[in-house]
Structure formats: structure tokens, C-alpha cells
Copies of this chain bind each other. A is one copy, B any other.
């Protein structure tokens, strides 16, 4: 953990690190976003691998540089695989990212999240407001998996959860907030509301956090870099397609293009970050 001020240049350097090192990110993720997540990681410059058989996950994690687990389409065998993979990740000292999709929506999902907090011990969690509040013990119901409004409650829940897991927590929404266990806070205001209308952008942000934390040992900074990069790519993609009279189908594709082709200048001129540390 660094105590110096984190700058836009620092985050861009992490982008370059991902592009240069092509970290292998092991994803045990949901069936809806698997393909898009893989393409997002490839666009970013990372290397995705998806594998969920209990027989092999520990070994697969062992050759990866980060593990991302996502409970979007839960199934009991997959949960076992997530735990095995997380154990392997910890013993190989690579970061574990948890995306608690739909936490709060069903009691099964809540139970599994609790198990994963105890047994997979994520280093980083990213979720929307209702998911983070659900995990942190707050009492706002999830409406499916598309809830995105951040609120003071969600921000407080994220801060509390970061301390609880002794790690980094991002609550994403119109503004993305990133907290760590030491109370550092980054607020990121990039992005576009249409990102909530493309399936898998949140899950892909989590996958990207895996890639960044594979190359940047300060997980709070890695998470901020991933969220900033995704937000800027998203707003560039939205502007592009809206200017052409196109919609969210085209934006889904344009987002991949921007993740691949974003320049330092794009990043530095667009980044809207404030940091309290």
C-alpha cells in the first residue's frame, strides 16, 4: 500500500502494465457474460481463461495471475469450484476478486456470498449499490441484477465492507467509489448511463479488476484504474454511437474497440477522479 497521492498518470501506467504483461486471468463467472468478459479482457490486453471443473480449477488458478469469481448464474458445483480455486489463489499469492451479482435477491445467493466471504476470502469485491449493501448487512432489496443507483448508504456499506474483508471494495454506479481497509477512497465519475443497458459491463469491470490487480499489487489502485478505464471507454463508446444515431448494440462493440485502442491522451483528458487518502 502506498501513501503517496495516486495520480492519473499512475493509473495509465497500470493500463500499460496490463498491455505489456498480458496477465492470465482465471474467470469462474456466469453463463451470460462469459463471452463478453473474455473479449473485454482480450481488448484490454490481458489473457482470459474460463474453467470451472472441480478437477482442474486449482491447477488452472495456479498458472494464472488473478482469479475472478462471479455468482451471476450460481450452481452448487460451481461454488465448490470457486472455493477450490480461491484456496489455490491464496496459496499462490494471486489476487481474488469477487463479483456478488444479485446478492440480496435470494436467500440461496446470500448464503453463498457468506460462504465465499469466509471460504474464498476475496481481496477485492465489486458490486452495485444493492449488492454491496446486501453484503454489508444493509436492508435495501435487490431488484434483480440491474440495480445501479449509488447512495450514501451504499458508500457507507462499501467503506464498512472494505474494513470487514480487510481489502478493497468498489461500489459502482453513476459514480464509482473504491475503498480500502485503510479508508482510502477514490471517486470516479466517468461512464455513461447506457452502460447499464449492456449485459455484462459490470461483470467485465470485475474481470478487468482481476487483470489490473495481477500487475499492480496495490489493489485499491488497481481497482480504481480498472473502473476508470472501463468508465472512460464506456463514455467514448456512447458518444461515438449516439453521434451516429446508433444504440446499445453498437455500443457493446464500440466499447471493446475503445478498450483496445484508448490512448494515454484519451485517458488523461477524460479521467474524472478524486481521491481522499
Contact = CB atoms under 8 A, between A and B. Distances in A.
Nearest to A28: B73
A52 interface: yes
Given A51-B74, A247-B43, A108 B56 contact: yes
A256 interface: yes
Copies in the complex: 3
Contacts of A47: 143-144, 146
Interface stretch (A3-11, A115-123, A179-187, A197-205): A197-205
A56 to B, nearest CB: 4
Q: How large is the interface on A (under 10, 10 to 19, 20 to 34, 35 or more residues)?
A: 35 or more
Contact of A143 (B35, B53, B63, B197): B63
A128 B76 CA distance: 33
Interface in A45-93: 47-53, 55-56, 59-60, 63-64, 72-77
A178 interface: no
A59 B108 contact: yes
Interface of A: 24, 30-36, 38-39, 42-43, 47-53, 55-56, 59-60, 63-64, 72-77, 102, 105-109, 143-146, 197-200, 241, 245-250, 252-261
